[in-house]
Amino acid sequence: MRRMKGWVTVDPQKAIDAVQRYGRLKVLDDRDLVVEVETMEDLRGLQPALREVFGKEMDIELIQRKIM
């Protein structure tokens, strides 16, 4: 997810339900909220689901996990 400044008010349960269909919410580095998805299809499904909840107030971007 892209870092945002400001607030977005939304029904938390609707946001959780949208995310849980496609991935898992995680806190990264004790600071950033991210959605972990398994496949690109999950990411493509998540985008319109989040748009339904947040409208144009939020967008997501792919961040590749570093494999060590």
Residue 7 lies in a domain: no
Asked whether the beta carbons of 50 and 58 are under 8 A apart, the reply is: yes
Between CA 55 and CA 43 the distance in angstroms is 17
Instruction: Please compute the mean of the pLDDT values over residues 30-53 and round it to a whole number.
Output: 89
Q: pLDDT-derived band of residue 28, with 50, 70 and 90 as boundaries?
A: confident
Residue 32 lies in a domain: yes
Residue by residue, what is the 3-state secondary structure of 22-52? CEEEEEECCCEEEEEECCHHHHHHHHHHHHH
What is the residue range of 24's domain? 12-57
State pTM to two decimals.
0.69
pLDDT of residue 34: 85
What does the pLDDT look like over 2-14, one tens digit per residue?
555 666 677 888 8
Residue 51 lies in a domain: yes
Report the domain count for the chain.
1
Instruction: Please compute the mean of the pLDDT values over residues 37-65 and round it to a whole number.
Output: 86
